[in-house]
Structure 1
C-alpha cells in the first residue's frame, strides 16, 4: 500500500542579500583629497576655486561642480584633468569612515554581496577602496541619483546605503530599502523628506 505521508515541500528560493553602498562620505571621508585635487587644478588652470565650498557639497557628478567655476566650454576638459590629477592628490589623504570596513565585512559574513555604486570615476573609486582595504564584491562608477537605481536593479540590491538625497532617489528608483547616514552634506530632515526609510548617524 502506498504511503499517504506527504513529501516535504522544497524551501522557496530566496535571492541572496545584496547591499549597495555609496562611496564618498558614506564609506570614505574624501574631503581632504578632493580639496587637494581642486587646489592642484586651480594652480594649473589659474581658475580660482573655493575648495572648502566644494567639499561642503560632495555628492553630485564632478561636472556639475566644475560648472560653478569654469565656462561651459571648458568643463569637459577640466573634468578630464581633474580625474588625471586625482590619484596623486586624493587617495592618500582620504580615510575610511567609522564602520565602513565592518559594514562591508558583515554583509559578506551573512552570505550576502556588498557592492559600491558611486558617481565617482570608477578607476579612482577602486583606487580608494584598495588603498583603504575595503573589499566590496563589485564597484560601479559614474552613476548619480536615479541612474544608480539601474545598477542596483541589475545587481539585485535590496538595500542601498548613502549620505545624499541623490542616493535616496537611487534607492527609490531601484525599489530598494533606503538607508541614509548623516555623515555627508545632507541632514536627517533632508534625507527623510527625500524618502529615506532609515536614517543613521553613521555606519557604526
Structure 2
C-alpha cells in the first residue's frame, strides 16, 4: 500500500450536489422555530459558513440578534434536515461527474478524500449519505461548521484531523480543495492550499479565474481532467 501523502477536500453544495430546495425548506423551519416568525428572505449561501448565513438571514428578516440565536438555530436546522431525509433523495441531485470523480480518486493510491463545507456536520453527512456519495469520503476528518469558524480555519482543522487519524502530515501543498465559489478560492489561499474551482455554482469560469483559482473546470464531468488537476496541484 502506498504511503498516504495527498488530501483532497470537497465542498458539498453546488460542487458535489444540488439540494437547494430542501435547504431553503429546512432554513424556513429552523427560522420559524427559533424566531417564531416566517422566513421571508434567505441570505446568499455560496462559499459561506452556516453561522454567516444564519446571522445575515436574521438581519435580512429584521431580527435583532442575541447570543442565544446561533446555539438555538443550529440544532433546529439539524432537526429540520433530518426530517427531510426522504426529500433529499426525492428533490436533491448529484451534479454531473461528481460520483465518478469521487470514485476515481478513491482508487488513486496515497489519497485521502474528505469534505470542507460551511454546513453543519449533521446536515452535510445526511446530504452525502442520502445521495450515495459518502462511501468514497472519510467524513470523520472533514471540516464542518460547528461553531463560528472561517472556511480557511476549517481547512486547516480538516488537514490536522486527517494527519492525526492517518499518522502522517498533510501539508498545505499536499492538500487540494475542490469547490465552486470565489469565497472558497479565498479560503483555500488563506490556508495556503491550491484549489480546483468548478463553475457549477453561481460563479462563472471567468469569475473563478479572476479570484485566483489554480485550475478552473466547467463541471466535474471530465473525470480525467479532475484526476490530472489533483495530481498537478497536490504534491505529496
Q: Name the TM-score, length of structure 2 as normaliser.
A: 0.70
Runs of 4+ with >4 A deviation: none
Larger Rg belongs to: 1
**In 2, distance between residues paired with 1:18 and 1:62?**
24
Contact 1:158 1:175 in 2 (8 A): no
Provide closer, same or farther for how the CA distance between residues 158 and 78 of structure 1 changes in structure 2, counting only shifts above 3 A: closer
Name 2:40's counterpart in structure 1. Answer: 49
Q: Name the TM-score, length of structure 1 as normaliser.
A: 0.80
Deviation at 1:113, TM superposition (A): 1.6
Runs of 5+ consecutive residues of structure 1 not aligned to the other structure: 1-12
Provide closer, same or farther for how the CA distance between residues 43 and 63 of structure 1 changes in structure 2, counting only shifts above 3 A: same
Alignment of structure 1 residues 138-177 onto 2, 5 Å: 138=139, 139-142=142-145, 144-154=150-160, 155=162, 156=170, 157-177=174-194
Alignment of structure 1 residues 88-99 onto 2, 5 Å: 88-89=83-84, 91-92=88-89, 93-99=91-97
Alignment of structure 1 residues 7-46 onto 2, 5 Å: 16-41=5-30, 44=33, 45-46=36-37
Contact 2:14 2:201 in 1 (8 A): yes
Length, aligned pairs only: 189
Alignment of structure 1 residues 113-128 onto 2, 5 Å: 113-128=112-127
Deviation at 1:120, TM superposition (A): 0.8
Runs of 5+ consecutive residues of structure 2 not aligned to the other structure: 163-169, 222-236
Alpha-carbon displacement from aligned partner over 1:163-198 (angstroms, at most 9, x marks no partner): 122221232133322100111122223322322111
Deviation at 1:104, TM superposition (A): 1.0
**In 1, distance between residues paired with 2:11 and 2:75?**
22
Provide closer, same or farther for how the CA distance between residues 48 and 117 of structure 1 changes in structure 2, counting only shifts above 3 A: closer
**In 2, distance between residues paired with 1:78 and 1:97?**
28
